[in-house]
Chain A
Amino acid sequence: MIIKPRFLCFCAVFLVTAVTVYSNPFMAPPPDDTQTTVSPRFMPAPVRPGSTDPVYNARQRSVREKLADAFRRFDETGDTGLLWGLLSVSFLYGLLHAAGPGHRKTILFSLYLARKAPVWEPAASGLLLSYLHGGSAVVLILVYRSVSGAISAHTSLAGVYMEGFSYILLILLSVYLVIRVIMELAGNRHGGDKKTTRLGAVLLSGLYPCPGAILVLILSVTLNMTGTGILSVLAMSTGMSLPVIATGYLAWFGRTGLFFSLRRQESRMLVLSSGIELIGYILLLVFSVYTAMPFIVSLFALLNV
């Protein structure tokens, strides 16, 4: 079976119509509470988060409050210098934010471990991923900015679905890739370049909104500074791309270095190439399954009710 670009684009569009992730204990409505005026909603568990460090949290908190101050000061004065300061803090916040758990670093590592790529591609993929991640947040806030009540209260429900389904599609894609490599190994032939599927994986995994960007955009909407918020998210996304790109190059250099050292042993290289490709896609599959498992299990539980 060959996955056509058209199918991947369909998946991308499907994902864009879903909403953002925000599992705030304050905001999620009580599912079985009959004593409030909030009606129960159909909410599966979100995907697994990564573990965080208190020092890292403290640094993020500090930078985020500086960003909020920057928005307010720019709102008060309109000084262009303050705008540059705001964008600089946004860049720093994005860098710090993506250095923590998530943001598809493992995805990119798996992909560039698995496949040969030109030297510029990890950078391009990392940037594309990060801009899609931030851009998704912009699109969703533009959709939800006029809702009644807290914006994050409205986005929390459907957001769980978006990240969950993006991982399910990654699971399906990685299963396909694993099967394809095994079939190639069994048929003792090396398959053609899978640029389309790799690009598809990047698109799929990036099309859910960054919670950090959502927070910034909510603040900008409440201050009637949506345009500034979008610029801030653009700067944030650029900052976010750096840890992601670094992870991609870590895999790229590792793979390139290994194959350079074996360049005179063509037969071993072909076997090793397929083996590493298989490992990369299995890593992608295992990571995606492990992360998405709470979402998948709870979704099935909800569907059975």
Chain B
Amino acid sequence: MFFSSEVEFVWSGERLSGAYLDWTFDSFFSADLIHGYDRNRDGKFDATETREIFDNAFANLRHYYYFTFIRQQSKRSNPAAVKEFSARQRNGTVSYRFYIDLSGYAPGELFLAVYDYTFFCDIRPGEQPVRLRYEPALVRPRFEVVENKDYPVYYDPLAPADDTTVHYSYRPGLKTYYPKEIRIHYDN
């Protein structure tokens, strides 16, 4: 399956507080979700339907780090949980939106990448892959998308699809993947 990803970084005052991730899915996965979870066929997902989608078609991503990888200098981490999950549908296409907390990261520079290291999902940037929401009087953030050759991720091309191991060091047999990272840098 494949989906497009967009990230909206949000500042609270001078500090980066978090980011909303918007994922829009392909026609086939969308059709399955609509068929399975829009119970009343009203063209939208109500609270109960959204909860069902979260439980049955999203929650398992916690075992895959929600496909979200965060780096500050050489230190890499992943979101422990997500908040404000919502699902919507439009013209047969389903999108998810959820929030990850970035308030615990030091100000200055941060890298964020969205990718499926199991390679089951093909993740592409959306039409507006990065958005910034901030108060200009308080902070001046900038972003760029870079393929970082200094911090590759290694993957086993023949590992079972449920192998959730992320390889940060090379060993024979692994292939090298250079994730495209969103580089956010800001000063006050």
Contacts and interface: CB of A to CB of B under 8 A. Distances in A.
Interface of A: 23-30, 33, 36-38, 43, 45-52, 57-58, 61, 64-65, 68-69, 72, 148-153, 215-216, 218-219, 221-223, 294-295, 298
Contact of B120 (A23, A151, A153): A23
Contact of A150 (B56, B61, B157, B161): B56
15 contacts: A23-B160, A26-B29, A30-B62, A48-B158, A49-B160, A52-B119, A58-B122, A61-B2, A61-B26, A64-B27, A68-B27, A68-B31, A152-B29, A218-B31, A219-B27
Top 5 nearest A-B pairs by Cβ distance? A150-B36, A68-B27, A51-B157, A23-B161, A294-B160
A24 B120 CA distance: 7
Contact of B56 (A29, A45, A72): A29
A28 B118 CA distance: 14
A180 to B, nearest CB: 30
Nearest to B91: A72
Given A28-B162, A45-B162, A49-B161, A222 B32 contact: yes
Interface string B17-44: 0000000001111011111110000000
A219 B28 contact: yes
Contact of B61 (A26, A52, A215, A295): A26
A223 to B, nearest CB: 7
B32 A150 contact: yes
A149 B52 contact: yes
Contact of A29 (B1, B34, B60): B60
A49 B56 CA distance: 24
Contacts of A26: 1, 29, 57-58, 60-61, 121
Of B27, B52, B118, which is in contact with the most chain A CB atoms at under 10 Å from its CB?
B27
B28 A46 contact: no
Given A72-B92, A150-B33, A37 B27 contact: no
A222 B34 CA distance: 8
Of B35, B63, B120, B157, which is in contact with the most chain A CB atoms at under 10 Å from its CB?
B35
A44 to B, nearest CB: 9
Interface string B56-89: 1111111110000000000000000000000000
B159 interface: yes
Contacts of A57: 2, 122
A65 B61 CA distance: 24
B31 A222 contact: yes
A255 to B, nearest CB: 28
B36 A153 contact: yes
Given A23-B160, A30-B62, A57-B2, 10 more contacts: A25-B63, A26-B1, A37-B55, A46-B161, A48-B160, A51-B158, A68-B31, A150-B35, A218-B35, A295-B160
B169 to A, nearest CB: 20
Nearest to B157: A51
Contact of B59 (A23, A38, A219): A38
B163 interface: yes
Contacts of A215: 28
B60 A30 contact: yes
B122 A38 contact: no
A25 B116 contact: yes
A61 B29 CA distance: 12
A48 B159 contact: yes
Contact of B32 (A25, A148, A152): A152
A215 to B, nearest CB: 4
A100 to B, nearest CB: 12
A25 B120 contact: yes
A47 B160 contact: yes
Contacts of A27: 56-57, 60
A48 B160 CA distance: 5
Contacts of B60: 25-30, 33
Interface in B95-150: 116, 118-122
Contacts of B35: 150-151, 218, 221-222
A68 B28 contact: yes
Contacts of B58: 26
A151 B52 CA distance: 14
A107 B103 CA distance: 53
B32 A218 contact: yes
Contact of B26 (A47, A49, A64, A151): A64
